[in-house]
Structure 1
């Protein structure tokens, strides 16, 4: 498990996708859209940000 780390490129991609999912979550929420879309976008945004928060970045 010591090998588990994110490359800067993958972390950036994950961050952008999490932000876009959060934006979509907010858009669906404001329009009172389907609940399944709220769960889908919310879960992906939360999981992506949790990974970014708890998995270290590869320094080199």
Structure 2
């Protein structure tokens, strides 16, 4: 099980990114304290109701 430790929004200001949707970098920690990182679309994170302290979905 991994927990969301930090969410970093790398899109600053109002820059256009073309056809790409805005993404965020998410820091995850497991039970042993090991950190891993994923990048996901901000919209996906919001649609799944995920925030700091929440359990990261395994699939």
Q: TM-score, length-normalised on structure 2?
A: 0.32
The structure with the largest strand share of the pair is: 2
Q: TM-score, length-normalised on structure 1?
A: 0.32
The structure with the largest helix share of the pair is: 1
- Rg larger in structure: 1
